[in-house]
Amino acid sequence: MINEQIRDREVRLIGENGEQLGIMPARDALQRAREAELDLVKIAPNAKPPVCKIIDYSKYRYEMLRKEKEARKKQKSVEVKEIRMSPNIDDNDLNTKVSAARKFIEKGNKVKVTLRFRGREMAHMAQTKYILDDFAEKLSDIAVIEKPAKIEGRTIVIFLTAKRQ
């Protein structure tokens, strides 16, 4: 809220140089802002009484937008990479998948390891869970199991994430 939009009776006023000017009626605060040819901006509306500051509102908005943009740049998004396998996977193929998962985890991504069953393979679901356990064991130096093995229809899924240091 700025200038005439401020409807409070009393406000705590901060001057254009950051000095405390004390608690005063909102009209007087607005009058001081006009004398300085600046805007009266409500900084902390939930305080008792609300805190207002005499500043150039367009400059203030620009600074806030710049801070938000800078904060967005520093955010890191985590992607979920998926690795699919079948229950009759060979050791060398498993090692290749493990090395791919290792690269994903080192880059800071989560890894979803999916073991897919087709046709008659469905009858032997319980006997092939060891494949996912071996997969997690080979990555145990850099990764932990975020979500344990879960059966979802024709697949068994586990999620791996990087260990916290």
Q: Which domains does the chain have, with CATH numbers?
A: 3-71 (3.10.20.80), 80-162 (3.30.110.10)
The reply to whether the predicted model has a pTM over 0.75 is no
Can you list the alpha helix ranges (DSSP code H) found in 75-164?
Answer: 91-106, 129-138
pLDDT 10s digit of each residue in the chain, 165 long? Answer: 777 778 788 888 888 888 888 888 888 888 888 888 888 888 888 888 889 888 888 888 898 899 999 888 877 777 899 999 999 889 899 999 999 999 999 988 999 999 999 988 888 887 888 888 888 899 989 999 888 888 888 899 999 999 876
Two tokens, residue 19: 């000095």
Return the exposure string of 109-127: e unless at least 16 CB atoms fall within 10 Å of the residue's CB, then b: bbbbbebebeeeeeeeeee
Which segments within the chain are labelled E, that is strand?
A: 10-14, 20-25, 39-44, 51-55, 80-85, 110-116, 143-152, 155-162
